[in-house]
Amino acid sequence: MKAIFTSLLAFLVVPLSVIAEPWKMDFVTKDEWEAASTSVSRLSPDAFPALPPAVAEDLNRRGCTIPQSVYPAEPNNVISGHFQDPTSTDWAVLCSRNWNSTILVYWGGSADNVGELGCLSADRSWLQGGSGDSIEFSRLIATAEIETLNHYRGELLNPGGPKFEHEGVVEAFLDKFSTIYYWHDGEWHEIDGAD
């Protein structure tokens, strides 16, 4: 995961007009874009055997599927880490329902303590042109490792500021931009990832 996060920090920002109306790109029609949106690979929570059973059950109850980013090739958008403090093992899952997705955070791996991270957004807004004529889903979540956070601390916080004490959650639009979410003082803080 550290390699994935490190590579996420090298993105370029896409013009907002392309995100808002991606079918205006020269090589893709609106119909092709809509067709690509409905054909995004989505896995059942049961496809992730490492998920705590209560979390998988809750995701199924909510009607969540997990949209798959084009990278990495293995099943993705389900992560675990120490997001609240150094001792808790928490889970974050990109939950898609009715072609819209949000990040659900299961504190301590419990279905009784679920938070939402970021905002609900249309899955089609995370599509982009890929190699050849392909259109690819490019939303990816990953664990932001402590070492990586502290390495970039001078850019993210003031250089003399406190060190990060636990992991965070990275949300990335591959090759475009990323946001790091870090839990501190009872709330999520957003940090712009490297563009």
pLDDT at 195: 59
Q: CB of 147 within 8 A of CB of 2?
A: yes
For residue 8, is pLDDT > 60?
A: no
Structure confidence at residue 166 (pLDDT): 95
**pLDDT, tens digit, for every residue of 120-172?**
999 999 999 887 778 999 999 999 999 888 876 655 555 556 678 999 999 99
* pLDDT average, residue stretch 19-23: 46
The conformational region for residue 75 under phi > 0 = left, psi -120 to 50 = alpha, else beta, is: beta
Cα torsion for 37, 40, 43, 44, to the nearest 10°? 20
State yes or no: pLDDT of 19 exceeds 70.
no
3-state secondary structure of 8: helix
In SS3 terms, 88-114 reads as CCEEEEEEEECCEEEEEEEHHHCCCCE
pLDDT of residue 93: 98
Strand partners, 106: 91, 114
Cis peptide bond N-terminal to 72, omega within 30: yes
Could you say which DSSP state residue 73 is in?
Answer: S
pLDDT per residue as tens digits for the range 172-189: 999 999 999 999 889 998
> pLDDT tens digits, residue range 82-119?
999 999 999 999 999 999 999 999 999 999 999 999 88
pLDDT of residue 26: 52
Strands 90-97 and 78-81: antiparallel
* pLDDT of 14 over the 50 cut: no
For residues 80 and 89, is the Cβ–Cβ distance under 8 A? yes
Rounded to the nearest 5 degrees, what angle is found at the Cα of 103, between the Cα atoms of 97 and 107? 120
| pLDDT (0 to 100) of residue 132 | 77
Average the pLDDT over each of 32-41, 72-81, 167-176 and give the range with the smallest value: 32-41
In terms of average pLDDT, the best of 11-15, 79-83, 114-118 is 79-83
**58 pLDDT more than 50:** yes
Mean pLDDT value across residues 7-14: 35
- pLDDT at residue 36, as a whole number: 86
Which burial class, exposed, middle or buried, applies to 55 when counting CB atoms under 10 A from its CB (0-12, 13-18, 19+)?
Answer: buried
